[in-house]
Amino acid sequence: MMKKHLLIFILFILFSNSYAQSNILKKPIEISAKQTIINFLKAYKKSNYDSHFGYKKELITNVAFVKNDTVTYYRVNFKNAEEFYKVLEKTNYFSMEFIEAMRQNFKENDNFMLKDPANDGPPYGFDYDWILSTQEPELYLQNWAKIKVVSEKKMIPKYQEVVLQFEYGNKLQFLMKKEDFIWKICTIKSIQSYTE
């Protein structure tokens, strides 16, 4: 009887230990903020950045605007913009802060369009890549081997700032936020266009 209890106890310990190890192994592998940024840039380039992660390229000019003819003035199409925000959210690269900032920017651009109506040329606030905030996104989406980390600063808990320098000296500053073991982009800011 004693042997039977001892055997049950040993099996219980082995099973418990095995269960604990399998749960430890289920913890997601954490990717650094820098690697998340590199993965984002590669995915953005692969998706053909003009299509903004697969958002229909032919609709990009209409994502934010409604223009039926030469008489109609530019206005932000908020319904299509909301669809675009959902596309960004599904990529899992962007925090809600990033998406909310873009939403606010679209509202401000729409207010400007109301105050200063236009129907030709690039609409106000939309003559650049909305995600990288540059008119030349291709400068940031090539030659991965030449990307250098200029600085990495841990900020308040769950936040980190990463500055990357690209092939031609351009620099982008990323503010990252960790959500459930995943780094997400809060802001992207160009801090230098070209080297002197």
pLDDT digit string, tens, across residues 134-189:
888 888 888 878 889 898 888 788 999 999 998 888 899 999 999 988 999 999 99
Query: What span, in angstroms and rounded, lies between the C-alpha atoms of 81 and 126?
Result: 12
Answer whether residue 76 is part of any domain. yes
* Whether the predicted pLDDT of 86 surpasses 90: no
Residue 2: per-residue pLDDT: 56
**Bridge partner residues of 176 (DSSP):** 160, 185
Answer whether residue 62 is part of any domain. yes
Domain count, the chain: 1
Q: What's the whole-model pTM score?
A: 0.75
Answer whether residue 67 is part of any domain. yes
Residue 44: per-residue pLDDT: 84
Alpha helices in 92-149 (DSSP H): 96-115
Determine the structural domain holding residue 131 and report its residue range.
30-191
The residue among 116, 125, 20 whose CA lies nearest residue 65 is 125
Answer whether residue 124 is part of any domain. yes
Residue 60: per-residue pLDDT: 42
- What's the chain's average pLDDT? 77
Query: What span, in angstroms and rounded, lies between the C-alpha atoms of 181 and 27?
Result: 9
Helix (H, G, I), strand (E, B) or coil at 178: strand
Query: What span, in angstroms and rounded, lies between the C-alpha atoms of 2 and 74?
Result: 85
- Give the pLDDT band (50/70/90) at residue 69: low
Residue type, 180: D
